[in-house]
Amino acid sequence: MKIKEYRSQFIQALLPIYDEGEAESFFYLILEEKQQLKRIDLALDPKLIFLEEELALWNSILEQLKLEIPIQYLLGSTSFYGLDFEVNENVLIPRPETEELVEWIIKGNPKIEGFKDLKILDIGTGSGCIAISLAKNMPNAKVYAIDISEKALATAKKNALLHKVDVTFITQNILETEDLKQQFDIIVSNPPYVRNLEKQEIKKNVLDNEPHLALFVEDNDALLFYKKIATLAQKNLLENGQLFFEINQYLGKETITLLEKMNFKNIELRKDIYGNDRMIRGTI
C-alpha cells in the first residue's frame, strides 16, 4: 500500500479522538521513528509503499492510539530541552513547561563562573529529564537525583547513559526524609501537585496511562510536597542557595505564602508559555 494513501486513512481513523493537526503530527512522528523517513521524503517520492509487515505494525500502533495511549509511550521516547529521553509507563512524559524551569535554572545562574563546584539536587526525578538536562548544560556541576520509584530510576539511569552525563541517582521517599545529609547550591523539584478535584481537567490519555504517584495529591493537603521539600531546603541549601519548584497553576499565591512563612527571600513567581503560574524560585 502506498504510504501516502495510508496517511489519509490513518488521520481519518483518529479524527473522532484527535484533531487533524495532532493526528497528522502522530503520523509523521511514527514515520520518522519506524521508517526513518521525513515529511520531505514522502513529498519527493509519493510512490513509497509499506510492506505487509510494516503495515501490521502501523495498524497496531493506530489501534493503541485509538485507545488514547500516549504517542510518547508507543514510540518509547520523547524530546525534552533538545535531548531525546526514553519514557514508559513508569515515568511522567516531560512537558514543555518543565523545559522552561530548566531554562530558568541554567540562564539564572550566569554569575557562577563555569558552574564550578555547583551541587544540584532534583527531587522526584522521574525520567531524569531535569537532572540530565542540567548536567548536560552545566557540565562542571555535580548533579544528584532522588525518586521513590526504583522503576522510574531505572529509566532515568538509562537516559543518563544515553547522554553520557554523570548523575548520582538515589532511591528515597522524600516525605520520610529528615535530612539530606549534604549541602546543595540548588534544589529543584516538579513534585505531584494535581488535586483530585482537578482530575476532570486531565485528559484521558494522561489519566489512564501516566503514573498517578507522580501526579496527584489530596485536596486537603495540596502543598504537602512543597512544605516538606522547603523544610529540607532550609537545612540543606548553602547560604544564598536557590529552591526551584514547578507548581500547580491555581496555587501560585499559596506557594508564595508558604515560602514567605519559611523565611525564603527574593521569591519570584513566573508564568509558563501558556500564561499560567507555573514555576517559583526562592533563596535561603
User: What CATH number does residue 136 fall under?
Assistant: 3.40.50.150
pTM (2 d.p.): 0.90
Is residue 15 within 8 Å of residue 26, measured between CB atoms?
no
| Residue 74 included in any domain | no
Q: Are residues 49 and 113 in the same domain?
A: no
pLDDT of residue 207: 83
| Residue 175 included in any domain | yes
Q: Are residues 39 and 180 in the same domain?
A: no
pLDDT of residue 115: 58
Q: How many domains does the chain have?
A: 2
Q: Are residues 271 and 163 in the same domain?
A: yes
Q: Are residues 101 and 63 in the same domain?
A: no
Q: Are residues 256 and 131 in the same domain?
A: yes
| Residue 77 included in any domain | no
Q: Are residues 50 and 172 in the same domain?
A: no
Q: Are residues 125 and 258 in the same domain?
A: yes
What is the rounded CA–CA span in Å between residue 114 and residue 61?
Answer: 45
pLDDT of residue 219: 85
pLDDT of residue 218: 87
Q: Are residues 184 and 62 in the same domain?
A: no
Q: Are residues 103 and 133 in the same domain?
A: yes
| Residue 73 included in any domain | no
- AA identity, residue 111: K
Q: Are residues 95 and 61 in the same domain?
A: no
What is the rounded CA–CA span in Å between residue 235 and residue 48?
Answer: 62
pLDDT of residue 19: 92
pLDDT of residue 110: 62
| Residue 83 included in any domain | no
pLDDT of residue 259: 98
| Residue 109 included in any domain | yes
pLDDT of residue 147: 97
| Residue 218 included in any domain | yes
- Give residue 131's domain range: 88-283
Q: Are residues 213 and 261 in the same domain?
A: yes
Q: Are residues 92 and 194 in the same domain?
A: yes
Spans of the chain, pLDDT less than 50: none
What is the rounded CA–CA span in Å between residue 233 and residue 188?
Answer: 10
| Residue 194 included in any domain | yes
